[in-house]
Amino acid sequence: QSVLTQSPSASGTPGQRVTISCSGSSSNIGSNFVFWYRHLPGTAPKLLIYMNHQRPSGVPDRFSGSKSGTSASLAISGLRSEDEADYYCAAWDGSLSGWVFGGGTKLTVL
Amino acid sequence: EVQLVESGGGLVQPGGSLRLSCAASGFTFSTYWMSWVRQAPGKGLEWVANIKKEGSEKHYVDSVKGRFTISRDNAKNSMYLQMNSLRAEDTAVYYCAREGWESSGFDCWGQGTLVTVSS
């Protein structure tokens, strides 16, 4: 059981906008930044969003992040087939003194 | 080019030990916190441990405390994970990850090394 809670799956059609949510608590999302990663098993995970909503250089503006209270979300607009991957949220947990990840959301582009 | 390369994975019996290495290049290794993150088969990402720039501070996930030890050698641009008393549930791909400056997250990852704990 992951400390951060994500829906296990999400889907959309090309061009659509999808949102992936992440729920935590006051000791992690509620008091620290949220990060989002994209991962294809067998490859290196990739940072998509840092500090709740900032995009690293090279990440298209189709990806956006937001945070409210103890929840966060990742939105992907203009969905493309290459967006199919597993998406994870993460945050530092002050009570655990460690990083915590969500269980991951598998995105399928129909 | 910023690069992280893990090595040392393999098959080990329950109760055995293994030492993973992470070789860094393309950046000033000694100025970054570093982490190990793992993914068990069919499971999600799980943070394992991290270590401060000069090695003075370390944190571990509860499930590995007392069994795993993270360390680094800044002169060799390398980080290590000594894994003792290994259990079947430690079977996973282990990734080395760099923690970026000023809350920029895990901004660089290696390709991972597979650890299989089985008799």
**Residue B70 · residue B50 · CB < 8 Å:** yes
The pLDDT score that the predictor gives to residue A4 is: 97
Q: What is the number of alpha carbons within 13 Å of residue A41 lying toward its C-beta?
A: 12
The pLDDT score that the predictor gives to residue A66 is: 98
Give the chain B residue nearest A5 (alpha carbons). Answer: B44
Q: What is the number of alpha carbons within 13 Å of residue B68 lying toward its C-beta?
A: 26
Instruction: Walk along chain B (119 residues) and give the pLDDT tens digit of each residue.
Output: 999 999 999 999 999 999 999 999 999 999 999 999 999 999 999 999 999 999 999 999 999 999 999 999 999 999 999 999 999 999 999 999 999 887 889 999 999 999 999 99
Give the CA radius of gyration of chain A.
Answer: 13
The pLDDT score that the predictor gives to residue A94 is: 96
Q: Is A63 on the interface with B (CB under 8 A)?
A: no
The pLDDT score that the predictor gives to residue A11 is: 97
State the Cα angle at A59 between B26 and B78, rounded to 5°: 25
The pLDDT score that the predictor gives to residue A12 is: 96
Which pLDDT tens digit goes with each residue over A36-89? 999 998 899 999 999 999 999 999 999 999 999 999 999 999 999 999 999 999
Which of B106, B107, B111 should one mutate to test binding to chain A, selecting the residue with the greatest count of A CBs within 10 A?
Answer: B106
B48 vs A17, B39, B91, B101, CA distance in Å? 33, 10, 13, 20
Q: What is the mean pLDDT of residues A87-99?
A: 97
Tell me which residue in A39, A98, A104 faces B47 most closely, judged by beta carbons: A98
Sheet arrangement for strand B68-73: B3-7, B18-25, B78-83, B68-73
- DSSP annotation of B110: -
Q: In this structure, what token pair is assigned to residue A88?
A: 């994870």
B52 vs A29, A100, B71, B79, B100, CA distance in Å? 22, 18, 9, 11, 12
Tell me which residue in B93, B106, B110 faces A47 most closely, judged by beta carbons: B106
The pLDDT score that the predictor gives to residue B101 is: 87
Q: In this structure, what token pair is assigned to residue B9?
A: 């994975």
The pLDDT score that the predictor gives to residue A42 is: 83
Tell me whether residues A47 and B62 touch, CB distance under 8 A: no
The pLDDT score that the predictor gives to residue B102 is: 78
Tell me which residue in A43, A50, A100 faces B103 most closely, judged by beta carbons: A50
- Three-state DSSP state, A67: strand
The pLDDT score that the predictor gives to residue A93 is: 96
Contacts of B103 in chain A (CB under 8 A): 33, 50-51
What b/e string do you get for B82-93 counting C-beta neighbours within 10 Å, with b at 16 or more? ebeebeeebbbb
